[in-house]
Structure 1
């Protein structure tokens, strides 16, 4: 995601409080048939006005970037006009033109801003909002609008809610007769508003129209345009100037009908008579469908008939059976007594909106295959959610309504947090059903922030991926702002850099692949040099460096990918490689790769960085157009990029012939989409999904749907060494209001919503991969060794299984291939077990054998056998401690006769 600086937009927004000239205003607006479109500007002053410095800009379809603009020149006489006409308009309209310009290419839902030297002097419409501008019977579509004569100064707050009826009179389509004159100088004059007839006082209890009859059982009221009188009980009050300027009423108990399709509540757009919750009121007004929401408008009278009544909230539940189910409760007080998850907090700071759902909602193609399966996921998503709206019409409310007592850098509201009960008025606007709470919801930090994960106990290497959201450093010396993308000023850049440095420092990765960094080379003042210098200042325990690709820029895009690393942990090996060959000559950013070697283990591995084409459609056509399968635009060129990237990596572009390769980056494709599956087909598997066993990981949140645009894909050999992989959720879950930007924030919020912490440093979460190096030993290093010349002793006649002693031996690779056997030769009465213990297995007799000489070898599970060594076992003779000489004498005397006999017999 990025901020395009087609014009110095920050200056325009900042100028909301700057002095603005009231001399030149937008005085007539024509949105007619076909291309009949024109703008009239009027010089209010009594003197001639120089038009130098004035610019009229068109912002189409709610976009923040200028679509078309025209710089005015010359002078304009006092009380005179200049008419700008669409070049494709009719000849009748062109005849009135002073200037033809496509800035008039509006369609009733676009915004025009008139500036002088960057300061807003007038505006038509609401900046960054897309809707047909309507109100009080006046519409910006298919009508001619003339500024009321009483309006003599411009509307300088272009972000304020725009109701054209406040300052404009309307005429039929293609009415051009007043163009070129203003302030009564010509043209059709609106009919004067007659004095109103005296109103008859309302009578409580008189005949009335029931609320359920007003609502009807369809999507629109059957009584649109009808003047009605109704009665009901005020269920919620939003009459404040910064609120909805009205209140909701519910049917009296006796008036409720039996039809479950008819709502028993309605919104009354009226604030002139103060009412309170519990008041029984009678209202006279006209039934309207205001942007498809039934309401009572043009209210002439409200009277309070009674006070202190109670309104019970109607219980509703999610998921819905059908997307239209909530129409039956529009305007009613409702309650959801179930645990709901914060699914989207993007509009929290700006609009006070939070989307709630039954569970975390995923992009269809994150958890299902593109096509019917993915589209079915999104269909179910729509039934599981509802919008929580603070009931305020003020943008950038300070403090925000949620979470109590207000959003801040420390008091966040993350997607994944929960709330157990929501009660309020159910309304419909801007295409969504929403609840305006009458009881403050109590959020639970179910998805609390987590510190950076510690390096896995088995790992000795860490690789990470981080999208740094347009890190542009100006000229690198404090000037050059605003740049094409990123920070508008040096002050914003300092805030941005502090958060990014906090995040990268906390990750403590040995190699980090970066996306969306300024593509301005590798010189002293380049963006990559600025970031590395800032990291080294913040993290003195490490020595960060960047891979220098020795080019002025990589490819042609304003942003590029980059590689930084901890030079105290790894070193570069081989040659840093890039390619700009198709399909990387445009759209897909140019691939980069470098090989590294661990200083601790000598492990060699290659890290590459990818940033494939975004999903935004632009000029997409043919197979790159949105096919409706959930993959968005440019899927074909992203898939081509994935296949080409894998082929490039297989060619060993760094010149290092090693199979361990990991590719990290922003693929702009969710986990089940074609590009990620193409990588897998080429042998590069999605690391996080492989370790998780599912695709429920996420690194990005768009439109309240979680998914992974950021991935790490690895070769089979490196994947086998990965011991941990995760997304660190510091960005995707956090409200955008906590980022470094200062626009759309009060002076107090610029401080309270900001901290130098890692949280909301970007819009993408970093992906963190922990790797266990493979220890590769030579055959000699793997083989067990037995110490030579070992000597043991054992008494003769020792019992069988007696342990003589334990051999001294070593096993350098015991974790992988432990010793499983000792091979013994030289004796049948001595064995050696797996632990190296010498054991008696036969009779030991000193007289027979006083010394046993063995040859012993150790064998491990990989069949590595040690050298044979000699082991000596000395047998110790055992004898009695008594003097046996006397016994021997008598024995010899007794045996003497026998010896004589023996001699005789042998003769």
Structure 2
């Protein structure tokens, strides 16, 4: 098998070079039950042909790339067939097949292309288009049918990208019709002999002897009665016979037929649509027991009888968590009810398949909350017991409207992970390797995890730094053309939609510096992606002046995507030299690190911002870069090496600015407890969100129904001490992917109703937002206390010792860091000053001796900064004798004698000083 991307243009070119009349064509297409799939090729030529150079390729789900293929070998005689079978097909196919191949792993919505030395000679379906579940025109459908090429068709369909109408060249036969395989009736082929008329069937008798549903299901994973024709009876619990339904219905055992074995299910799916049934019908069915992709069902139904109507079947109550997912085998086909609050943990398949995963709680990646290895694996093992998939009872893809939420999904009416539902009732089925519930009662979801606006900047903060993965923002040629690009938007229309959402998100964050990931790596010129994005930001947010760091290179590293830095030039300015390194391990896999230093225009705070995008977890490498089964995925070793090298590079101050305040933001492709994040911590760069939260329950990404943080902000110790708030803004990870900017697989109506220019599902990663309180750095002169000049105080003579004269006026510009701790006073020993700056009487004051005291005072702070000497004047007020007498009159009688006693002494004191 090989994989090659063939664009629609390449396919057209290839078709033009194909011969006008090909000798080899696709003559029969079988898409049957289970693995009954086969392709018949027919040699139209009158001579033998070599099959060397012929390749049959499979294009799945609208892809323009070959997903699987088979190179043919050998020769093929004139007017004969060559059959390629699924390896697990029925014996009737395998017995006549020329070869088996996984190229037959197709469904009704997949295309097939037959090429000769790269030139298209025939095709089936329309490459590059996903029709939903099938191509269907004129009563001919490509799903669950056998199709034979009309006798009149002798040349191949060489335009594989043109619209495909199967009725033009194909005739339809019932599912699992194999009798014509191996003989093509056109150009010398021989038509198969018709089957004899079947013997008439004996009518079904309700209530007669029957096989119990529990016996059909058995106690194991597979029915013990596979390929056995049986007659069963039960009550219809769910009807999915309609268009785009499951092509059948579910029944449950009659109450009298329920056995006592809890391991045997009492429900069964009947694959049959020819006779309509309704929920509540009591039916008897004759058919053959089948295991369809490990799901037990009754197929090849020959008869059905409705024995009664309006019967009531009770749902069996089950609950999560289970001991094991395998426990659901005992309920396969049964009507069940989960009467508990369940949380939406995965909505990725909501738009495409109508699927929502529910669990007892939000489920986390093992390595987000536990150390890699046994602990993380235990978390994931527990996760599996807590979840179940809610399906929509339909095989249709891209349904309009989607099944959930009940009012219909739209850009404004979302269904986010973290939302809840209080009860689920439906039938248990098994398909695509997963147990699921098809509801019989429409579930009512509650917006428990409602959308939130961008977080307001903390009142303490004066700086905001953010990290944002912009999900392959490619701008074509920057002038409206150049589409499709290798990533991102496929057209200018999609770019406009993508850009509007990104601009809405970034402008709402109001961050002073934003580190970006997954932006097109096309330099910094006028038409570059980074220039286009910044121009769009400035057009939308006129209150700010956005700019980008220009690294003065045509591209950073060798990858198609890179990292970038944008900032608000009205808030910060660049200082130092923007830096890049492409040294190992950044010469491949890990994207090249970038860094630049900035200074706040309001506080002069200097800090360095670096951006990382480490190697992803997919497409494993060798040895230690393989998936070691510890929960960290592929390429863990090289990500960990990057963490060490990144830290050393930043410690070396690559921007030339010798400042310890460093923050590293970006998509590390590693969850919070994985080796790279712990290595950063070891090197002194702390996980800010986890440090502030005190746990690792934050998340920025959702994968396979598990939340976790791939996006991190890591700070040096000095900068961490200045962080006052940190959060992941959940605008993307919680939202259904179908709400993004893409137009593929969406009807015209959905392209409008599922899209809004707001920030929600602007990307697949949530931004990380960090608020910082700058440290005000003052010069020694700016830190020094200042005593106000020309201060004058008054105090009456004779005032008591320790009387407070007044409060010295002074300022302390750095009181939070180095407060004033004392004062020095010279000029008089009659006045003192305390640590608070209060002037105090220290000895007797006599107006006649000294009516004015001039002091020199200095303040000292905790950093030993001393203010300039400042003169302060104390005026002594003379107190007249009658004022003294009046004051004394206010005293109580017992003190009158003291006044009389002191009077002569006062006269004597005045006399002596003349």
Give the shorter-chain TM-score range. 0.7 to 0.9
CA displacement at 1:552 relative to structure 2: 1.1
CA displacement at 1:126 relative to structure 2: 12
Structure 2 equivalent of residue 707 of structure 1: 708
- In 2: Cα distance, 1:808 partner to 1:159 partner: 93
CA displacement at 1:447 relative to structure 2: 0.7
CA displacement at 1:742 relative to structure 2: 0.6
- In 2: Cα distance, 1:590 partner to 1:679 partner: 17
Is the 1:821–1:834 contact (alpha carbons within 8 Å) kept by the matching residues of 2? Answer: yes
Structure 2 equivalent of residue 439 of structure 1: 441
SS in 1 for 2:325: coil
Structure 1 equivalent of residue 169 of structure 2: none
After superposition, residues 700-849 of structure 1 pair within 5 angstroms as 700-799=701-800, 802-825=803-826, 830-840=831-841, 843-847=844-848, 849=850
CA displacement at 1:821 relative to structure 2: 3.2
- In 2: Cα distance, 1:166 partner to 1:586 partner: 54
Is the 2:830–2:844 contact (alpha carbons within 8 Å) kept by the matching residues of 1? Answer: yes
> 1:59/1:731 Cα in 2 relative to 1: closer, same or farther (>3 Å)?
same
- 1:392 is aligned, of 370, 391, 394, to 394
* Residues 1:609 and 2:606 are matched in the alignment: no
Is the 2:585–2:642 contact (alpha carbons within 8 Å) kept by the matching residues of 1? Answer: yes
- In 1: Cα distance, 2:658 partner to 2:423 partner: 60
Deviates more, 1:546-555 or 1:865-874: 865-874
- 2:335 is aligned, of 327, 333, 342, to 333
Is the 1:575–1:594 contact (alpha carbons within 8 Å) kept by the matching residues of 2? Answer: yes
> 1:563/1:424 Cα in 2 relative to 1: closer, same or farther (>3 Å)?
same
SS in 1 for 2:323: coil
> 1:765/1:12 Cα in 2 relative to 1: closer, same or farther (>3 Å)?
farther
CA displacement at 1:435 relative to structure 2: 0.7
SS in 2 for 1:287: strand
Is the 1:40–1:81 contact (alpha carbons within 8 Å) kept by the matching residues of 2? Answer: no
CA displacement at 1:196 relative to structure 2: 2.1
Structure 1 equivalent of residue 494 of structure 2: 492
Q: Deviations over 1:476-518 (max 9, x none)?
A: 1111100111111111111111111111111111111111111
Q: Deviations over 1:18-54 (max 9, x none)?
A: xxx99996325799xxxxx997666999xxxxxxxx9
Is the 2:130–2:745 contact (alpha carbons within 8 Å) kept by the matching residues of 1? Answer: no
Structure 1 equivalent of residue 463 of structure 2: 461
> 1:866/1:159 Cα in 2 relative to 1: closer, same or farther (>3 Å)?
farther
> 1:823/1:603 Cα in 2 relative to 1: closer, same or farther (>3 Å)?
same
Is the 1:608–1:662 contact (alpha carbons within 8 Å) kept by the matching residues of 2? Answer: yes
- In 2: Cα distance, 1:159 partner to 1:457 partner: 64
* Residues 1:638 and 2:622 are matched in the alignment: no
TM-score, scaled relative to structure 2: 0.82
SS in 2 for 1:106: helix
- In 2: Cα distance, 1:707 partner to 1:684 partner: 19
- In 2: Cα distance, 1:118 partner to 1:150 partner: 20
After superposition, residues 1-150 of structure 1 pair within 5 angstroms as 6-8=5-7, 26-28=26-28, 57-59=57-59, 65-67=65-67, 106=103, 108=105, 112-114=111-113, 122-123=124-125, 147-148=147-148
> 1:316/1:38 Cα in 2 relative to 1: closer, same or farther (>3 Å)?
closer
After superposition, residues 235-634 of structure 1 pair within 5 angstroms as 235-617=237-619, 620-634=621-635
> 1:256/1:578 Cα in 2 relative to 1: closer, same or farther (>3 Å)?
same
SS in 2 for 1:532: helix
- In 1: Cα distance, 2:391 partner to 2:597 partner: 51
CA displacement at 1:454 relative to structure 2: 1.3
> 1:151/1:686 Cα in 2 relative to 1: closer, same or farther (>3 Å)?
farther
Is the 2:548–2:567 contact (alpha carbons within 8 Å) kept by the matching residues of 1? Answer: yes
> 1:146/1:285 Cα in 2 relative to 1: closer, same or farther (>3 Å)?
closer
* Residues 1:185 and 2:188 are matched in the alignment: yes
Is the 2:643–2:676 contact (alpha carbons within 8 Å) kept by the matching residues of 1? Answer: yes
Unpaired segments ≥5 residues, structure 2: 13-19, 32-36, 46-53, 73-77, 86-98, 134-141, 167-171, 886-899, 909-914
- In 1: Cα distance, 2:131 partner to 2:214 partner: 32
CA displacement at 1:668 relative to structure 2: 0.9
- Provide the alpha-carbon RMSD of the alignment: 4.1
Unpaired segments ≥5 residues, structure 1: 14-20, 32-36, 46-53, 73-78, 87-101, 132-139, 885-890, 900-907
After superposition, residues 149-188 of structure 1 pair within 5 angstroms as 166=174, 169-170=177-178, 183=186, 185-186=188-189
> 1:688/1:819 Cα in 2 relative to 1: closer, same or farther (>3 Å)?
same
- In 1: Cα distance, 2:379 partner to 2:9 partner: 39
Structure 2 equivalent of residue 95 of structure 1: none
CA displacement at 1:878 relative to structure 2: 1.2
TM-score, scaled relative to structure 1: 0.83
CA displacement at 1:804 relative to structure 2: 2.1
CA displacement at 1:780 relative to structure 2: 2.2
Deviates more, 1:498-507 or 1:271-280: 271-280
> 1:360/1:571 Cα in 2 relative to 1: closer, same or farther (>3 Å)?
same
Is the 1:419–1:444 contact (alpha carbons within 8 Å) kept by the matching residues of 2? Answer: yes
Is the 2:4–2:66 contact (alpha carbons within 8 Å) kept by the matching residues of 1? Answer: no
SS in 1 for 2:103: coil
> 1:466/1:126 Cα in 2 relative to 1: closer, same or farther (>3 Å)?
closer
SS in 2 for 1:298: strand
CA displacement at 1:170 relative to structure 2: 4.4
> 1:782/1:165 Cα in 2 relative to 1: closer, same or farther (>3 Å)?
farther
- In 2: Cα distance, 1:567 partner to 1:120 partner: 59
Is the 1:731–1:759 contact (alpha carbons within 8 Å) kept by the matching residues of 2? Answer: yes
- In 2: Cα distance, 1:674 partner to 1:562 partner: 25
Structure 1 equivalent of residue 677 of structure 2: 676
Is the 1:472–1:518 contact (alpha carbons within 8 Å) kept by the matching residues of 2? Answer: yes
- In 2: Cα distance, 1:318 partner to 1:729 partner: 27
- In 1: Cα distance, 2:684 partner to 2:83 partner: 60
Structure 1 equivalent of residue 897 of structure 2: none
- In 1: Cα distance, 2:769 partner to 2:221 partner: 49
> 1:250/1:30 Cα in 2 relative to 1: closer, same or farther (>3 Å)?
closer
SS in 2 for 1:148: strand
CA displacement at 1:62 relative to structure 2: 10
* Residues 1:661 and 2:658 are matched in the alignment: no
CA displacement at 1:843 relative to structure 2: 4.8
- In 2: Cα distance, 1:538 partner to 1:723 partner: 29
Structure 1 equivalent of residue 93 of structure 2: none
CA displacement at 1:452 relative to structure 2: 0.8
* Count of matched residue pairs: 824
